[in-house]
Structure 1
Amino acid sequence: LLADGVKYAFVSNSDNLGAQLDMNFLRWFAESGAPFVMEVTRRTEADKKGGHLAVRKADGHLILREVAQCPDADIPEFQNISKHRYFNTNTLWIRLDALKEILDANGGVLPLPMIRNSKTLNPRDPESAPVYQLETAMGAGIECFPGARAVNVPRSRFFPVKTTSDLLLLRSDAIAVDEDGKVALAPERKGKTPVVDLDSKLYKLVDSLDSLGLPSLIGLDKLTLRGRFHFQDGAVLQGTLLMENDSEETKEILPGVYAGA
């Protein structure tokens, strides 16, 4: 890329539907002289498990801390969105000459911390053999670039689809897609993202949503769903709702408005 005259790289997750190349941002990045910039945004309840920025006391460098790197005893503090206010959107801007220098100095790899995630061999069976997924986070590269910066961007530049909870929201009327394919909250939401928390034991995989149905979420603040449900067409959820079903039978939610506090 450098040989072809390319100076900058824009890197984003494929599951972040809000990440789009912004020419104004690119111009600022080029003029800033920063070798690496991470787009961050304010954490909400929906993002409390996401990696957040911190400052390393030893040298003042920005670093990224993921939940898998956090001791269990510190999880409540990790998820404190008032204390750790900014999280990594995984949208990165990188100056390629700076990247090459760091790669050359480290044998062709970035010296990133290893992350160990606990999984099960079969994601559909929580009782299957436990395994570890070893990975490095590309956002952790912020600690490798002296002079790296983070920029707080509008929430509209972060729309992830990592879980079935995210996918249910994406499919709902709380989300609008314009003619250019840009995904954004419906105008009626006034910039506030609904929080959807589905039962992870029952709705972990995409095909599990087929039996759930699709209620209206445009007036929703937060939905916590525990147990088996089916939302019939015309079911409208508003406010903050906790819906629980301890039975093995699926509970039918009939057409109508269901409003919480």
Structure 2
Amino acid sequence: MKKTLLSSLFVVAILSISAPLLTTQNAQAKTVVDDFGNTIEISDKYFNNPPSESDKKALTEQYQELQVAINNPNQQMGDLAMKYFQNYRTVQSYVDMTYNLNPATFQSKKPIMTLIIGEIGSLSNFIDKNSNGGLETDNLNIKSDDYGAILKPTDLTVYNATEKQGVKQALQTTFNAWDSPKIHFRFVNSPDDARIVVRAVDSKNGNFEGSFDGSMTEVSVYSTVLIQANVNISPELSQLPGDDPTLVHTLEHEFGHVFGLTDIL
């Protein structure tokens, strides 16, 4: 499982989206509901990595163990179910832990079980979620609370919504710093074609972190795959020249969060 079950129970949609993502006017696309509950479209060309028969078999076995565990919450789970529940021995102990960590969120433990059942879903949904929805991820694994992969990281499209030449120059420096066999960036001319949109916003709307005048926010995640994200910087930063170290470092830092890297203090 690529994200923790606990984190998925508290995902709240930042944006309500009903618009095409990563599609062109003539492209065929699938309409799906993402992990935040938003309706989005993803181009058919990205659905080229279906799970193998052996993967389907393994996930089916895990799903069957999970159904037994849910129906017998006080009995010790099998190994496959325990792996899903972060090695808790019973479903009830996992429910108890979740309730004790979030007493203000839940008035009782019953809604937690309902959320768990909904998160696991049907067998087909379970296989879909745990095989990246058949999306192309170039076998790049990401360690993030909300996603475990990125859509086509070898062709990460970026839109510079600030329209500032200095930001574009600093972004090119950022691209060069992160470029690798499994990570490659290119600019596009429309946010609809971009998987990362770089914006200049104030600190309130950008939810800036600590000492940085910047942040990274997930816009859409589908089947634990990051589809689209915003990299936010302050208007003041966007006015700086492209070789300014603060601008460059902020962009490099926030792009690191796209790849699941956490802050190192």
For normalisation by structure 2, the TM-score amounts to 0.25
Higher relative contact order (CA 8 A, sep 6+): 2
TM value normalised by structure 1: 0.25
Would you tell me which structure has more strand in proportion to its own residues?
1
